[in-house]
Amino acid sequence: MKRIHVVAAVIERDGHILIARRHDHVHQGGKWEFPGGKVEPQEPVQTALCRELEEELGIQAKCFEPLITVAHDYVDKQVLLDVWRVTEFDGQAIGAEGQEIRWTSPHSLSEFEFPDANVPIVSAAQLPRHYVITPSLDDSVAAFCGGFRRALEAGYRLFQLRIKEALSAQDTAQLVSAISAMKQEHDAWVLVNSDMSDAVQSQLDGVHLTSGQLHRITSRPSQHRWVAASCHSLSDIQQAEKLGLDFVTLSPFKPTASHPHAQPLPLTLFSQWVSAAKLPVYGLGGVAPADLGQLVALGAQGGAGISGYWPGSKGSEAQ
């Protein structure tokens, strides 16, 4: 069965995303989707993107970048979705082919029914480009929370709380209370490293599994909004897909002081694994915000890290 190459767009405007409802008589009719259509033979993908948005919505895409590629097999057809994030366009979007369109917040996308192939796109559309992993609690809880607030003020909206030290019940309660208040104020998400207690995990937005835990479980932890995992191989990524996780980190992208003997993945291999993945992938390992352009060009959702992101850390761009 020939795989159909389709281009799709996550179109952003004023903090909202445009979705369209498929006509009832077509494949996956009645469900919502991200606008787009088939790529013609020999047609460059970017040309197809601009053409489809002009035909379907009457807009002219001006600024866009790759977001995710998803290969999906339905019973009756196979598709390759080539998805782009469109952040600037000319014109007023309309349902030029009679389709219903709607602007909705990223958080609200989960309330709509999409075709199965679009599920990873929903996650990619909701997730930011940067995933900040917290450092050890070397100082007081108050100092740590000060760093967390500065990271929020720098614009970061996705975090992994990764504290290895044993905390007293009082310090844990103080930490979780402060982080909960700050993330709510800034509309951010905080996952908890799976080595931390279930009590902490249950009070925040999700859990981040180690690669070892990824292969020890047989089903997705059901009580969490977000479930992510650390991956170091293609088999790790495939296990995450099998479990229905939301996103993963893939490392090492660059050499790191914390793992001096770990060889970075060759860029061609990194790109191949990311392109084959059916979920968003963040590059991890020696990554800083300045690496975002390269990571996006390789197909990644974005970058993840500690020292490159945490305010006050060596190499951080958020001071």
Q: Which domains does the chain have, with CATH numbers?
A: 3-107 (3.90.79.10), 130-305 (3.20.20.70)
Among 236, 240, 283, residue whose Cα is nearest residue 264? 283
Q: What is the pLDDT of residues 37-89, one digit of tens each?
A: 999 999 999 999 999 999 999 999 999 999 999 998 888 889 899 999 999 99
Per-residue pLDDT, 315: 53
Residue 76 to residues 6, 58, 276, Cα–Cα distance (Å): 16, 31, 21
Q: Please state, in angstroms and rounded to a whole number, the distance separating the CA atoms of residues 303 and 155.
A: 14
Per-residue pLDDT, 266: 97
Query: Which distant-in-sequence residues (6+ apart) come within 8 Å of 178 by Cβ?
Result: 141, 145, 148
Please, where are the H alpha helices in 154-261? 169-186, 198-201, 211-216, 234-243
Among 86, 25, 21, residue whose Cα is nearest residue 50? 86
Per-residue pLDDT, 284: 97
| The amino acid at 317 | E
Per-residue pLDDT, 313: 65
Among 58, 42, 41, 60, residue whose Cα is nearest residue 50? 60
Residue 111 tokens read as 């309330």
Per-residue pLDDT, 120: 94
Indicate if the alpha-carbon torsion angle 122, 125, 130, 136 is positive or negative: negative
Give the chain's residues under pLDDT 70: 1, 313-319
Per-residue pLDDT, 254: 94
Q: What are phi and psi of 205, to 5 degrees?
A: -100, -5
Among 107, 115, 127, 129, residue whose Cα is nearest residue 36? 115
Q: Please state, in angstroms and rounded to a whole number, the distance separating the CA atoms of residues 103 and 125.
A: 13
Half-sphere exposure for 137 (CA within 13 Å, toward CB)? 16
Indicate if the alpha-carbon torsion angle 166, 169, 170, 172 is positive or negative: positive
The model's pTM is: 0.92
Q: Please state, in angstroms and rounded to a whole number, the distance separating the CA atoms of residues 130 and 69.
A: 19
- Helix (H) / strand (E) element for 150: namely helix 141-153
- Omega before 252 cis (within 30°)? yes
Rounded to 5°, angle at Cα 161 from 289 and 309 = 15
Q: What is the pLDDT of residues 251-267, one digit of tens each?
A: 999 988 777 778 999 99
